[in-house]
């Protein structure tokens, strides 16, 4: 009888291990298909497109919710003090283009000259299909450009390892710009992913119909003689419809959770006190200890008994031993 009980326990252990492995594999495999009829939980954000499921940090759904609910807004001239929120609205999310800028002809692109410290300035373009790269065009190599404050710092907990990227003020997807020093600045990957949310809003509008265009401006925000921008301001207004298609004015802070940046020089050090306190809506798998955006298809496959809904800063889940999904990057 004892032998039989032992065999039963071993078999149960093997079956449990198989179940946990299957659950973990479902959380992390490279590709997926959403189950038939899958929708995000009622009242939770679904992504605007599949690209949102591959984005670290801020998602399009989170921006749209913040804009609708009235995220914190500051005046354009206020210093960009990071207070735990990657995203802030500027002037109530209303861009401030001059009459001259609103009259720019299609295809216009303007990039400020580098200043005496080698820092880039505002970039503005009326983007449309005529400025965008041809389908399948690969982005060129940016390695020859060394933006002000560049430092090749690396951290094991940062996605991709490197703290900084050569960030386009106006993305390649909108203007096909590559290694233009006047369009590149030193920014974290965390910031760069967030910028792509807004580039995507403009690009999607331009691609929706021939003749659709968006007036787009990106302004790096430096303080005094610092070499690394504290933040970047993004403004956009769809042309010909008064902004009905696209309209935003936002500030994105140049930060990386877990790292404190010396903006004067580009030096950095690990500091757990630097965190993004943006409230995330997540679904955690208590079997695999992986958490997902509520809109991630993998969240629908979590067994009911292992599913945990959560709303709050992601670091609270990480402090409990959960790991973020490698696909939806909550």
HEC-encoded secondary structure of 273-308: CCCCCCCEEEEEECCCCEEEECCCHHHHCCCHHHEE
Q: Specify the pLDDT at position 58.
A: 78
The pLDDT of residue 27? 40
Strands 184-188, 87-90: pairing kind: unpaired
**Looking at the domain assignment, is residue 229 inside a domain?**
yes
Per-residue pLDDT tens over the stretch 150-200: 999 999 988 889 999 999 999 999 999 999 999 999 999 999 999 999 999
Q: What pLDDT is attached to residue 56?
A: 52
Q: Residue 213: inside a domain, yes or no? A: yes
Beta strands 323-324 and 290-293, pairing class: parallel
Nearest to 216 by CA among 195, 230, 193: 195
Specify whether the CB–CB gap between 300 and 38 falls below 8 A: yes
SS3 19: helix
Could you tell me how far CA 203 lies from the centroid of its own chain?
15
Residue 212 and residue 128 in contact, taking contact as beta carbons nearer than 8 Å = yes
Q: What confidence score (pLDDT) does residue 279 get?
A: 64
Q: Does residue 325 lie within any of the structural domains?
A: no
Cβ atoms of 322 and 289 closer than 8 Å: yes
* Contacts of 257 by beta carbon, 8 Å cutoff, 6+ apart: 190, 274, 275, 276, 315
Q: Alpha-carbon distance 34 to 293, whole Å?
A: 14
User: Is 2 domain-assigned?
Assistant: no
Quote the pLDDT of residue 57. Answer: 67
160 domain residue, yes or no: yes
Residue of 178, 168, 91, 169 whose CA lies nearest to 124: 169
State the total domains in the chain: 1
21-62 tens-digit pLDDT: 333 333 433 333 333 333 333 333 433 333 333 345 677 877
CATH number, domain with residue 152: 3.40.570.10
**Which helix or strand (DSSP H or E) is residue 20 part of?**
helix 2-28
pLDDT in tens, the chain (330 residues): 445 445 444 444 444 444 443 333 334 333 333 333 333 333 334 333 333 333 456 778 778 888 887 767 888 888 889 988 899 999 999 999 999 999 999 999 999 999 999 999 999 999 999 999 998 888 888 999 999 999 999 999 888 899 999 999 999 999 999 999 999 999 999 999 999 999 999 999 999 999 999 999 999 999 999 999 999 999 999 999 999 999 999 999 999 989 999 999 999 999 988 887 776 778 899 999 998 877 788 888 899 889 998 887 777 888 888 888 877 777
Q: Is 34 exposed, middle or buried (0-12, 13-18, 19+ CB in 10 A)?
A: middle
Q: What letter does residue 154 receive in the DSSP assignment?
A: B
Domain that holds residue 136: 82-270
β-sheet bridge partners, residue 312: 280
Cα 5 to Cα 8, 9, 10, 11, 164: the distances in Å are 5, 6, 9, 10, 57
SS (H, E, C) 157-196: CCCCCECEEEEECCCHHHHCCCCCHHHEEEEEHHHHHHHH
**Distance between CA atoms of residues 47 and 27, nearest Å:** 18
Domain presence at residue 22 = no
Q: What is the pLDDT of residue 292?
A: 86
**Is 174 a member of any domain?**
yes
Residue 282 lies in a domain: no
């Amino acid at each position: 009888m004892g032998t039989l009980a032992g065999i039963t326990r071993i078999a149960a252990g093997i079956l449990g291990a198989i179940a946990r492995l299957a659950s973990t594999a479902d959380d992390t495999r490279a590709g997926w298909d959403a189950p038939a009829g899958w929708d995000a939980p009622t009242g939770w954000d679904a992504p605007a497109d599949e690209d949102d499921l591959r984005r670290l940090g801020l998602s399009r759904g989170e921006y749209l919710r913040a804009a609708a609910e009235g995220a914190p807004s500051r005046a354009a001239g206020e210093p960009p003090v990071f207070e735990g929120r990657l995203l802030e609205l500027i002037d109530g999310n209303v861009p401030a283009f001059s009459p001259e800028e609103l009259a720019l002809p299609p295809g216009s692109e303007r990039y400020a000259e580098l200043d005496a410290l080698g820092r880039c300035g505002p970039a503005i373009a009326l983007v449309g299909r005529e400025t965008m790269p041809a389908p399948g065009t690969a982005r060129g190599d940016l390695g020859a450009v060394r933006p002000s404050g560049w430092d090749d710092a690396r951290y094991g907990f940062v996605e991709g390892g490197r703290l900084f990227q050569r960030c386009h003020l106006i993305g390649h997807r909108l203007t096909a710009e590559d290694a233009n020093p006047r369009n590149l600045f030193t920014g974290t990957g965390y910031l760069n992913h967030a910028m792509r949310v807004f580039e995507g809003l403009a690009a999607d509008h331009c691609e929706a119909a021939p003749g659709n265009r968006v007036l787009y401006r990106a302004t790096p925000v430096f303080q005094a003689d610092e070499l690394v921008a504290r933040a970047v301001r993004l403004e956009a207004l769809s042309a010909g419809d008064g902004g009905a298609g696209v309209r935003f004015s936002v500030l994105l802070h140049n930060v990386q959770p877990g790292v404190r940046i010396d903006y004067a020089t580009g030096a950095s050090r690990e500091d757990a006190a630097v965190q993004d306190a943006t409230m995330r809506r997540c679904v955690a798998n208590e079997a695999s200890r992986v958490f997902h955006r509520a809109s991630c298809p993998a969240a629908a496959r979590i067994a009911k008994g292992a599913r945990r809904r959560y709303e709050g800063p992601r670091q609270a889940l990480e402090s409990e031993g959960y790991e973020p999904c490698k696909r939806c990057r909550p």
